[in-house]
């Protein structure tokens, strides 16, 4: 049986090894996406002893500096970071970085270009759009097969074998070192990489999502859709006046938290406020909805709501991204995912070298 499993491990590895390398390596780099964004998008500002500007101030800057941009959402965060504004454009979208104290435009980034866009595209779809996305999804499933079969092959059948499975013999020959790198590092990395792979499957296959919904008792559950009352008498002529008012309320109530404020476009669209803790964990986000005409909070049975009202499935759903890149465990978690992804990226290489050596022999 172990020989058969070894053959499965070998041939699956030979077929998808290069894909495994690309996806794992790009994933390791994307662990540090927040830091790359900070540097490449010029997100740092000098804190000032004054209040942040309001959404209407940001809108004036956008109208002046980039009038073709369709203002969607403003993101206010720490006092030493820029305010981000999401803008839709022709066939793409942009993120504008503005000084939160003066509303000065610091940087405008087309999010379909640049290093981060390249790495995200490589990780999600191999830069091949919908076809590539399917390739990544099915490759991820095969990665899981490789990890499981790798553990079975690694598992020692005797105490004597067990001694050499947990450590690398650094003074050994290059051939033995390569084997140890694949075998030992692969074993340790698997226990972290398997979480990244399983969460990747959550995004790739509806059956995984539906299984989680079934386990949490939410399969088939329907939710209301928050809508603005088009018959309400407008409290302000300009929705940005209401957005400003809501922004001031949230700043006073949650001074240490970051939050997003959306700009409604359709007649029934709402103003949505998404509240985040400083660590920016998705599963800890809270969502609030306000009528675009009256400014009143809209209460209902919505899919996304305040953190203390969120369902078990939505909380787990929110954890998927945080687990995938390790942020759920802070910096130690991100480091673990980073190093395990680098090791995972090396496994097809060390495995191929080992296979070539055996083939020649």
Structure tokens at 200: 């990747």
Q: Identify whether residues 92 and 130 lie together within a single domain.
A: no
Its domain, for residue 177, covers 2-33+117-218+325-360
Burial annotation 327-357 (CB, 10 A radius, 16+ → b, else e): bbeeeebbebbbbbbbbbbbbbbbbbbbeee
Q: Identify whether residues 165 and 129 lie together within a single domain.
A: yes
Does 268 map to a domain?
A: no
Largest CA distance in the chain: 83
Q: Identify whether residues 26 and 90 lie together within a single domain.
A: no
Task: Yes or no: say if 108 and 66 are a contact pair by the CB < 8 Å rule.
Answer: yes
CA distance 167 to 327: 28
**Which pLDDT belongs to residue 233?**
82
Q: Identify whether residues 175 and 135 lie together within a single domain.
A: yes
Rg (Cα) of the chain, in Å, rounded?
25
DSSP β-ladder status, 270-276 and 258-262:
antiparallel
**Which pLDDT belongs to residue 206?**
94
Which of the listed residues 98, 116, 134 is the one where a domain comes to its end? 116
Task: Yes or no: say if 280 and 301 are a contact pair by the CB < 8 Å rule.
Answer: no
CA distance 223 to 303: 6
Q: Identify whether residues 68 and 152 lie together within a single domain.
A: no
Structural domain count of the chain = 2
Which pTM value belongs to this model?
0.93
| CATH code (residue 82) | 3.10.450
pLDDT values of the chain reduced to their tens digit, one per residue, 361 residues: 878 998 999 899 999 999 999 999 999 999 999 999 999 999 999 999 999 999 999 999 999 999 999 999 999 999 999 999 999 999 999 999 999 999 999 999 999 999 999 999 999 999 999 999 999 999 999 999 999 999 999 888 777 777 777 888 888 888 889 989 999 999 999 999 999 999 999 999 999 999 999 998 888 888 899 999 998 888 887 889 999 999 999 999 999 999 999 999 999 999 999 999 878 899 889 999 999 999 999 999 888 888 777 888 888 999 999 999 999 999 999 999 999 999 999 999 999 998 887 766 5
Which of the listed residues 48, 81, 116 is the one where a domain comes to its end? 116
**Which pLDDT belongs to residue 360?**
65
**Which pLDDT belongs to residue 324?**
98
**Which pLDDT belongs to residue 361?**
59
């Amino acid at each position: 049986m172990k020989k058969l499993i070894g053959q499965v491990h070998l041939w699956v590895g030979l077929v998808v090894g290069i894909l495994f390398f690309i996806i794992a390596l790009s994933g390791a780099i994307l662990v540090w996406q927040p830091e790359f964004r900070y540097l490449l998008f010029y997100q740092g500002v000098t804190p000032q002893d004054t209040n942040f500007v309001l959404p209407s101030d940001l809108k004036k800057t956008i109208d002046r500096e980039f009038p073709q941009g369709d203002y969607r959402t403003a993101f206010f965060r720490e006092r030493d970071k820029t305010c981000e504004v999401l803008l839709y454009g022709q066939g793409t979208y942009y993120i504008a970085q503005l000084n939160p104290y003066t509303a000065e435009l610091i940087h405008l980034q087309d999010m379909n270009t640049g290093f981060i866009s390249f790495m995200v595209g490589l990780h999600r779809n191999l830069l091949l759009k919908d076809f590539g996305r399917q390739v990544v999804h099915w490759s991820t499933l095969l990665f899981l097969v490789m990890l499981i079969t790798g553990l079975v092959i690694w598992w020692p059948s005797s105490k004597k074998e067990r001694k050499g499975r947990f450590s690398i013999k650094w003074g050994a020959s290059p051939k033995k070192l390569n084997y140890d790198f694949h075998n030992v590092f692969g074993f340790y990395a698997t226990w972290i990489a398997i979480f990244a792979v399983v969460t990747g499957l959550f995004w790739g296959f509806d059956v995984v999502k539906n299984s989680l919904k079934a386990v949490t008792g939410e399969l088939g559950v329907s939710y209301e859709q928050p809508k603005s009352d088009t018959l309400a008498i407008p409290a302000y002529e300009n929705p940005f006046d209401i957005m400003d008012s809501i922004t001031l309320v949230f700043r006073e109530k949650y001074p240490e938290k970051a939050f997003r404020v959306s700009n409604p476009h359709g007649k029934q669209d709402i103003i949505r406020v998404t509240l985040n803790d400083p660590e920016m964990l998705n599963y800890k986000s809270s969502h609030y909805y306000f009528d675009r005409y009256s400014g009143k909070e809209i209460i209902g049975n919505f899919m996304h709501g305040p953190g203390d009202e969120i369902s078990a499935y939505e909380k787990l759903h929110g954890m998927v991204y945080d687990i995938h890149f390790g942020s759920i465990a802070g910096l130690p978690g991100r480091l673990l995912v980073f190093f395990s992804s680098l090791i995972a990226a090396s496994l097809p290489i060390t495995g191929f070298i080992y296979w070539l050596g055996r083939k020649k022999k």
